[in-house]
Amino acid sequence: MTETNRIEYKEKLTKELDLEKEVIAFLNYHEGGYIYVGIDKAGNVVGVEDVDGDMLKIKDRIKHNISPSAMGLFDVVAEEKEGKALLKIVVASGSEKPYFKRKYGMSEKGCFIRNGTAADPMPQKMIDEFFEKRTKTSIGKIKSSRQDLSFEQLKIYYEAQGIALNKQFAKNLELLTEAGEYNYVAYLMADQNGTSIKLAKYNGLTRADLAENTDFGYESLIKATKQTLAKFDLENKTHSRITGSERVDQRPWSPIALREAILNAFVHNDFTTEVPPKFEIFDDRIEITSSGGLPNGLSQQEFFEGFSVPRNKELMRIYKDLGLVEQLGSGVPRILESYGKECFTFSENFLRMSFPKTHTKEGGQIGGQKGGQMGGQKWQTESIKEADILEQLRYNSDSIAELLVSLPEKNRKFLHSKFALIAGYLQDNFRITSGKLQESFGKASGKKLSNQLLAFELIVIYPEITAEEIGTILELSERTVYTYLKNLRTEGVLERKGSRKDGYWDVKKQEIEK
């Protein structure tokens, strides 16, 4: 693969490398682009020796040496090619052009733009034209109508990711205007605000018969987002139908596409109109409508190909910090893996996604892999042969989303009732006896199972469950759950596969004692 107008190669990261120039050129370019560190100009993979160290240096240089702020407009991702580690810098086209080197200001020496495979200095005339068009009404520049804001919910979500917000968090997260007052981003992130997120459910195919109207508003937008995701997870519940020797397990909508659509609606909504995203469920479809058409300069073809022009870079940065979104531009391609382009409707002021209700398989082997065969296939009905006892248990149990809103005592009772069933499964498939379980993890008192054993049960039933979810379901602190997970790993019965966000837990088969 050779360099193109959207791809730049750098052999290694050095102090002499003008990384800022390349990033600025892509920020000012209407399509953005990618910078690969660890590939020479001839396209040969040479690799990166210190991946973590170089990743931190890249983030630090972009954060401190480029203006306006590029936070929320770039990602640095570790990849592997030909057995060697690489770093990929994903740069989106910015909405506050022209971007420039902070030490040189808005001049021909500080501004660059992509021209073919080169980063060329920007002529002064182009600099002036970009500056005149710069968005004056972004949510980062609008002063909040309230200045008595608190952010306890936001701090909790950051702490759950292992990030402590210091006294400078409002400045670091770009929650302040240039005058030092709270902006509209801060207003949306605050514990209390006037933004109402509506989720309506109708009987039939029209809006004539409203069956349910849920309001997740007047709170931090992050909390409203998580509540919306949980509500749709409940609505998208698996249904099973047994026919002869086969059981068909079906979901009405693709969970991956639905999640991406919901997050896109929140992150890319034009909140300057004070019109929040809207979510509607009909008997035959789901409609998700966000305010604002395509960002300036982005065509429909570029939209479908995953080119990213974040409307709200401040929101994008926060959602990425909290693990809600991943790489820039990955959402729409993921949706298109399950639904066609005809599901999108564009207008000057709105973007609507409409997903038809089709029965879909839940998919895959549950005891040790996540998600099943979702990637790359259109969502369709498939038959699954009669599964083992654990699959039957999972399909007949509540979803994680349902357990999260259930009383912890009810959840404990459920897990106690299934212990004998799970213990039999572990003994038959992994040589883990109930005696070893109780010897290693003990009983709390009397006939009660220990919290650690209950946590292990949850992992066995739901391999994709997170430490935060285990803590909520059993009413335990996240620190306590992490201690349990460490003990399970030390005992050699559990292993983590994949990343913290997208990975799963794998139960390890025990060796026969001689």
Domain boundary among 332, 356, 380: 356
pLDDT exceeds cutoff 90 at 503: no
Whole-number Å distance between alpha carbons of 435 and 475: 26
Residues 302, 244: one domain? Answer: yes
Q: Give residue 175's pLDDT.
A: 97
In a domain, 305, yes or no: yes
Whole-number Å distance between alpha carbons of 15 and 399: 51
More confident residue, 85 or 416: 85
pLDDT tens-digit map of 11-69: 999 999 999 999 999 999 988 999 999 999 999 999 999 999 999 999 999 999 999 88
Would you tell me the crossing angle of helices 451-461 and 467-474 to the nearest 10 degrees? Answer: 120
Whole-number Å distance between alpha carbons of 477 and 387: 34
Q: Give residue 444's pLDDT.
A: 44
Count of domains forming the chain: 3
Torsion angle (degrees, nearest 10) of CA 280, 282, 286, 292: -40
pLDDT confidence band for 246 (50 / 70 / 90): low
pLDDT exceeds cutoff 80 at 229: yes
Burial class (CB in 10 A: 0-12, 13-18, 19+), 241: exposed
Query: Which of 134-138, 340-344, 418-422, 423-427 ranks highest by mean pLDDT?
Result: 340-344
Whole-number Å distance between alpha carbons of 185 and 69: 15
Residues 328, 213: one domain? Answer: yes
Give the pLDDT mean for 137-153: 90
Q: Among 463, 457, 462, which residue's Cα sits nearest to residue 505?
A: 463
In a domain, 269, yes or no: yes
Please say whether the beta carbons of 199 and 360 come within 8 A. no
In a domain, 191, yes or no: no
Does residue 198 come out as left (phi exceeding 0), alpha (psi in the -120 to 50 range) or beta? beta
Torsion angle (degrees, nearest 10) of CA 456, 459, 460, 464: -170
pLDDT confidence band for 381 (50 / 70 / 90): very low
Torsion angle (degrees, nearest 10) of CA 161, 165, 169, 173: 0
In a domain, 38, yes or no: yes
In a domain, 393, yes or no: no
Q: Among 400, 370, 402, 364, which residue's Cα sits nearest to residue 385?
A: 364
pLDDT tens-digit map of 437-473: 666 665 544 457 788 889 998 998 888 888 888 999 9
Domain boundary among 100, 133, 166: 133
The secondary structure element, H or E, covering residue 453 is: helix 451-461
Residues 211, 346: one domain? Answer: yes
Residues 208, 336: one domain? Answer: yes
The CATH number assigned to the domain holding 465 equals 1.10.10.10
pLDDT confidence band for 378 (50 / 70 / 90): very low
In a domain, 108, yes or no: yes
Mapping DSSP to helix (H, G, I), strand (E, B) and coil, where does residue 270 land?
A: coil
Q: For the chain, what is the total number of helices (H) and then of strands (E)?
A: 19, 22
Domain of residue 304: give its range.
198-312+320-356
How does strand 100-101 pair with strand 66-67? Answer: antiparallel
In a domain, 254, yes or no: yes
pLDDT tens-digit map of 198-216: 999 999 999 999 999 999 8
Residues 127, 202: one domain? Answer: no
Whole-number Å distance between alpha carbons of 51 and 86: 7
pLDDT exceeds cutoff 90 at 356: yes
Please say whether the beta carbons of 144 and 181 come within 8 A. yes
Q: How many C-beta atoms surround the C-beta of residue 301 within 10 A?
A: 9
The CATH number assigned to the domain holding 68 equals 3.30.950.30
pTM: 0.58
Residues 103, 217: one domain? Answer: no
- Residue 446, Cα to own-chain centre: how many angstroms? 42
In a domain, 367, yes or no: no
Q: Give residue 72's pLDDT.
A: 84
More confident residue, 333 or 288: 288
How does strand 285-291 pair with strand 344-346? Answer: unpaired
Residues 126, 210: one domain? Answer: no
Residues 39, 124: one domain? Answer: yes
pLDDT confidence band for 385 (50 / 70 / 90): very low
Residues 253, 347: one domain? Answer: yes
Residues 250, 126: one domain? Answer: no
Q: What is the DSSP string of 93-150?
A: PPSSPPPEETTT-SSTTTBEEEETTEEEEPPHHHHHHHHHHS-S--TTTSBPS-----
The CATH number assigned to the domain holding 283 equals 3.30.565.60
Mapping DSSP to helix (H, G, I), strand (E, B) and coil, where does residue 450 land?
A: coil
Residues 209, 281: one domain? Answer: yes
Domain boundary among 78, 110, 133: 133
pLDDT tens-digit map of 281-307: 999 999 999 998 887 667 888 888 887
> Which of 235-239, 276-280, 479-483, 499-503 shows the lowest mean pLDDT across its residues?
499-503
Residues 408, 479: one domain? Answer: yes
Q: Give residue 43's pLDDT.
A: 93
Mean pLDDT, the chain, whole residue set: 84
